[in-house]
Structure 1
Amino acid sequence: MENRDQEKLKQYALSEITHLKVHGRTTGNLAPLTLFWTGSGIELNAKGSELWIEVEVDYDQYEPWITVLINSAPVSRQMLTKGRYWVCLVRGMNPAKIKNVRVVKDVQAMSGDPGCSLRIHAVKFDGAFMPVEDKSVKIEFIGDSITSGEGAVGAREEEDWIPMWFSAVDNYTYMTAEALDAEYRVISQSGWGVLTSWDNNPRGNIPDYYGQVCGLLTGAGNEALGAFREHDFSSWQPDAVVVNLGTNDAGAFTNPAWRDPVTGETYKQRLNEDGTYNEEDLRAFERAVENFLGKLRKNNGHAHIVWAYGMIGIPLMPAIYRAVDAYIRATGDRRVSVFQLPDTTEETVGSRTHPGKRAHVQAAEALSGYLGGILKG
């Protein structure tokens, strides 16, 4: 019986599927399609009963996870182990009905694992692919572990830093896009900031890598996959860019100095003796915010830029306001604003002391309301 069912399936290279919708920033190559970022994936409107995808997975330490959504409802979530093999997405459904099938990469681009990659080679299907409508709104989200969905799944007591606790769906980015009927992309990395990472490493900043497809990755394998290529911004222009950065920059002030293993230089965001922020170091953070806003505007000409901050406290909110105000005064760019997100509480915290699903729901409700008003204006 199984063999007869398999015989009905026709194999397609991704390039043969006219109505394939690719999500997330990629190289544009479909042979294979490499999924780099949180929330990246493929979407199909499938009129048939059985659908498979062929994946190729590698990693040294951190395995990829995916969520499968059918008609916008999550129906499965799974770890992908090493190898090249077929994964069944749909089986036994009504062949006369069109199913919206979406595969979403749950785990962020792993800068700490040069061997980690997820590629999709082909599809097997027993029906016809129908058009996937384009959304009228596009949103890009830029952030850290919060935006990567770290801690959005799992019990509160979980503290292991592993891919299992990441989610791209129980995540304010996905929820906000759904509320606004928007297509979205995510650029995010746990522990990173605007100026430095949580541990004062100046290389752990998103702005330096924003111009590449996925430049924060490392290794020859990722270079071969095209991660370090310059990104073609003209290929996808967002209507809104949401930046949720600053949480790790704040952490750098209270963490030990970082020492460069090559040069021996040390880097530290300093506190004054009374616990306040060192003025010189705070100003360096504000300049980094201003410079990033300039880079965002250069590459996203018509987008509304919203600096959204506050899901793990607001220690740097005054500095963010000053930086945004300084940028607006210097440039006259009025399509930039600051929005305070709801803080995570004892009731809404998830695993790894990060925002849980309830915190992401609250953030998405607030942010989608704010963005909805801006985008209608």
Structure 2
Amino acid sequence: MKDNNNLLTQTLADVEHVKVHGRTTGCLAPLTLFWTGSALELNLTGTELWVEIEADYDLYEPWICMEINGVPVSRQMVTGGRRWIPLFRGMSADKVKNIRVITEVQAMSGDPACLFQIHAVKYDGTCLPVQEQPYKIEFIGDSITSGEGAIGAKEEEDWLPVWFSAVQNYTAMTARSLNAEYRVISQSGWGVLTGWDNNPQMNIPQYYEQVCGLLAGERNEALGARTAYHFEAWQPDAVVVNLGTNDGGAFYSPGWRNPVSGEIHKQRLNEDGTFNSDDLAAFEQAACNFLIKLRQKNTHAHIVWAYGMLSIPMMPAIYRAVDAYVRLTGDRKVSVFQLPNMTEDTMGARSHPGVKAHEKAAEALTGYLKELLA
């Protein structure tokens, strides 16, 4: 259907060539984007393009970035409701534009009402196929991988969606350098065994096999967030795990009390300030078990445990966990890579890595992955 401006309006399900990035259920009516870095990508001619979006939230509003031909041209908060937003107008009609609408904010486990959907597009050109990229990479991590603090001044300390960025992020930078399609599974404060506050429910591995199982609420369940993820449909060439920072932080945080059972969980320090050996062993076992799960679901991928950026207290334990996994399985496509540490010069908001730190991490990781993927 064309409007008064001669723009063709189509639901996403009716558009011939649509590329979706990030874990989804496959539904295009509408398309729900759950994870940070998830995106709608189009190649099209024409002078004008609008996208119909819908958002909701109680606490943490979605933010999106719009890219044209690989360059960010706008970034905005998405307030509640359903509306049309313009991506461009007045451009040369015959030139093909590569367009991406990217979710900048992580899946908000702390706000069951948080929602971002794309319903339809309207444009005056032709939609063309999106070229497949030679590699696929999955990134798994915490606040660093969610891009918390990648945008914003150093003095910013409020925990707000505005300080998150999927684009000014080592994941997007690495993927761009390798010409790779990528997906991100990340959550601020979460770990392999426990979250930063010793909460054992805040661990990524228990939700890894679901589309986006860490999201709560009836609506997210109805949208398919907790359904089984179809790994066979998207097999990565590399899986990059950047976890352990919050597991290490838990040793210095108070114990977490289970509100139902009253049980207290705590990663303990010895009297001399070193990590308790039993608690370290529990972390190592959790990391080894996660590697087993990752290999079961990603049969040919190189698995790289990339750790650093916010110091490396858990590095010895990560090495031991990877060594234990290799001895157990004989799998030689698993390795450890140390990311460059954040400095005062590369710090961003909320005492997290800023864009300079992400650039340095991406540069180092790109070089390492190039060797593996070659």
Quote how far apart the aligned CAs of 1:6 are: 4.7
**C-alpha distance in 1 between matches for 2:260 and 2:61:** 29
Residue from 72, 89, 97 that aligns with 2:70: 72
Q: In structure 1, what is the equivalent of residue 356 of structure 2? A: 358
Distance, in Å, in 1 between the alignment partners of 2:218 and 2:56 is 13
Partner of 1:370: 368
Partners of 2:288 and 2:241 in 1: how far apart?
12
Residue 116 of structure 1 aligns with which residue?
A: 114
3-state SS of 1:211 partner? coil
Q: Distance in 2 between matches of 1:200 and 1:6?
A: 58
Return the alpha-carbon distance in structure 2 between the equivalents of residues 301 and 270 of structure 1. 36
After superposition, the C-alpha distances for 1:231-271 in whole angstroms (9 at most, x for unaligned) are: 01011000000000000000000000000111111100000
Change beyond 3 A, Cα 1:272–1:54? same
Normalising by structure 2, report the TM-score: 0.99
Aligned equivalent of 2:341: 343
- TM-score, normalization by structure 1: 0.98
- String of CA shifts for 1:98-142, please: whole Å, max 9, x gaps: 110111100000000000010110001111011110101000000
For 2:309 and 2:43, the matched residues in 1 are separated by 35
1:225 maps to amino acid: L
Question: Which residues of 2 match residues 38-53 of structure 1 at below 5 A?
Answer: 38-53=36-51
Superposed CA offset, 1:327-355 (max 9, x none): 00110000000000000000000000000
Cα distance in 1, alignment partners of residues 88 and 244 from structure 2: 41
Q: Which residue of structure 2 aligns with residue 152 of structure 1? A: 150
Kindly state the Cα deviation for residue 5 of structure 1 after the two structures are TM-superposed.
8.2
Q: Which amino acid aligns with 2:268?
A: R
1:317 to 315, 318, 327: 315
CA distance in 1, matches of 2:61, 2:115: 8
Across the two proteins, how many residue pairs are aligned to each other?
A: 373
Q: How far apart in 1 are the matches of 2:6 and 2:46? A: 11
Code of the residue aligned with 1:298 in structure 2: it is Q
- Out of 225, 236, 253, which is 1:227 matched to? 225
For 1:267, give the aligned amino acid: H
Q: What is the distance in 2 between the residues matched to 1:57 and 1:9?
A: 24
Per the alignment, residue 175 of structure 1 pairs with: 173
Measure the CA separation in 1 of the matches of 2:4 and 2:65. 24
SS of the aligned residue for 1:7 comes to: coil
Decide whether the 8 Å contact of 2:3 with 2:9 is kept in 1: no
Asked if the contact 2:49/2:121 (under 8 Å) is kept, the reply is: yes
SS in 2 for 1:287: helix
| C-alpha displacement of 1:17 | 1.4
Partner of 2:293: 295
SS in 2 for 1:57: strand
The alpha-carbon distance between structure 1 residues 6 and 364, as it changes in their structure 2 partners (threshold 3 A), is farther
Give runs of ≥4 in structure 1 deviating > 4 Å: none
Residue 131 (structure 1) aligns with: 129
Q: 2:52·2:119 contact (CA, 8 Å) conserved in 1?
A: yes
Q: Which segment is superposed worse, 93-102 or 177-186?
A: 93-102
Deviation, 1:192, is 0.1
Rounded to whole Å, the distance in 2 between the matches of 1:150 and 1:238 is 24
1:204-223 matches, within 5 Å, as 204-223=202-221
Partner of 1:95: helix, strand, or coil?
coil
Task: List alignment gaps of at least 5 residues for structure 2.
Answer: none
Among 262, 279, 282, which residue is 2:280 paired with?
282
Structure 1 distance, partners of 2:339, 2:259, is: 37
Q: 1:93 aligns with which of 78, 86, 91?
A: 91
Q: Find the residue that maps to 1:193 and give its secondary structure.
A: coil
Give the alignment partner of residue 267 of structure 1, picking from 265, 268, 272: 265
1:243 alignment counterpart: 241
What do residues 287-319 of structure 1 show as CA deviations (whole Å, max 9, x unaligned)? 000000000000000000000000100000000
- Residue 261 of structure 2: SS of its match in structure 1? coil
Classify the secondary structure of the residue corresponding to 1:51. strand
The offset of 1:7, in angstroms, is: 2.5
- Mapped partners of 1:362, 1:87: distance in 2: 34
- 1:204-231 per-residue CA deviation (whole Å, 9 max, x = no partner) reads 0000000000000000010011100000
SS at match of 2:221: helix
Distance 1:245 1:58 in 2: 29
Shift of 1:186: 0.1
SS at match of 1:305: strand
Q: Which amino acid aligns with 1:62?
A: Y
Kindly report the root-mean-square deviation, in angstroms, between the aligned alpha carbons of the 2 structures. Answer: 0.9
Q: Does 1:308 align with 2:312?
A: no
Following TM superposition, by how much is the alpha carbon of 1:72 offset from its aligned partner in structure 2, in angstroms?
0.3
In structure 1, the residue corresponding to 2:143 is in which secondary structure?
Answer: coil
Q: Secondary structure at the match of 2:54?
A: strand
Q: Which moved more, 1:191-200 or 1:14-23?
A: 14-23
- Stretches of structure 1 that go unaligned for 5 or more consecutive residues are none
